[in-house]
Amino acid sequence: MITESSHQITVGKWVVNIVRKDIKNLHLGVYPPDGRLRVAAPLKVSDDAVRLMVISKMAWIKKQVAQFEGQQRQSKRQYVSGESHYLKGQRYLLNVIYHNTAPKVAIRNKTHIDLYVHAGSSEQKRQKVMAEWYRQHLKEQIPALIDKWQAVIGVDVREWGVKQMKTKWGTCSIAARRIWLNLDLAQKPENCLEYIIVHEMVHLLEQHHNDKFTTHMDKFMPQWRNYRDELNQFVLNYADWSY
């Protein structure tokens, strides 16, 4: 029995990604940075029905895309002095300091991030040092949030981890009861991290993004849509994604 499939259709100039699932209703999403269209559709709904729905929502789609185009974006990071970098939603200026001891990162005066590296360190090395610093910040935040929401949601997370992901803010392995969180969440406001943790934990109750999943989210975190929108409207990275 097929429980999920995906393919693309074209509606005018728009490419629409259709994901068919065991759900009851059509769900349309428009995602940054360039207005990617995704429709979650019931298994038996035809492409023509999806096409008609997209056409009926075209004014709304164009409005969302216009908002994305107007959003502030970071240029590609080179990890050099003077760049803007973020931690927990707060903007800092990077200051690269060359020295001969072990690489480290520190916040100074609540305005600057000092990155200590060896002279001649490559961009890749500077990026790696920053990534490990971000990873440590997330690992300090996550345990308390999981403990808090295990009691609320009534599920048990056996394992969790942090890794760089290109297309998702988080993932959940139901069989292993393990969640993974995107490293870039360290740069976003703390309530966005909490929202993604709750989102993944709710998947332990319901695998699919269907009406039952939405009902659970509404029950446990009634303001989740606000956090989702905040996450997706925050300053976009050079290559960012949505959830």
Where do the domains of the chain lie, and which CATH numbers do they carry? 4-69 (no CATH), 84-233 (3.30.2010.10)
pLDDT of residue 11: 92
Q: State residue 74's pLDDT score.
A: 57
pLDDT value of position 239 = 42
In whole angstroms, what is the distance from residue 205 CA to residue 202 CA? 5
- What pTM was estimated for this model as a whole? 0.72
pLDDT at res. 242: 42
Q: What is the mean pLDDT of each run of 10 residues along the chain (243 residues)?
A: 74 92 89 82 93 94 79 72 94 95 95 96 96 97 97 96 88 94 94 97 92 94 91 56 42
pLDDT for 38-86, tens place per residue? 999 999 999 999 999 999 999 999 988 887 666 555 567 899 999 999 9
* Distance from C-alpha of 47 to C-alpha of 54, rounded to nearest angstrom: 10
Task: Tell me what pLDDT residue 238 has.
Answer: 42
For residue 23, the model assigns a pLDDT of 87
| pLDDT score, position 50 | 95
Residues 53 and 39 sit within 8 Å (Cβ to Cβ): yes
Task: Give residue 3's pLDDT.
Answer: 57
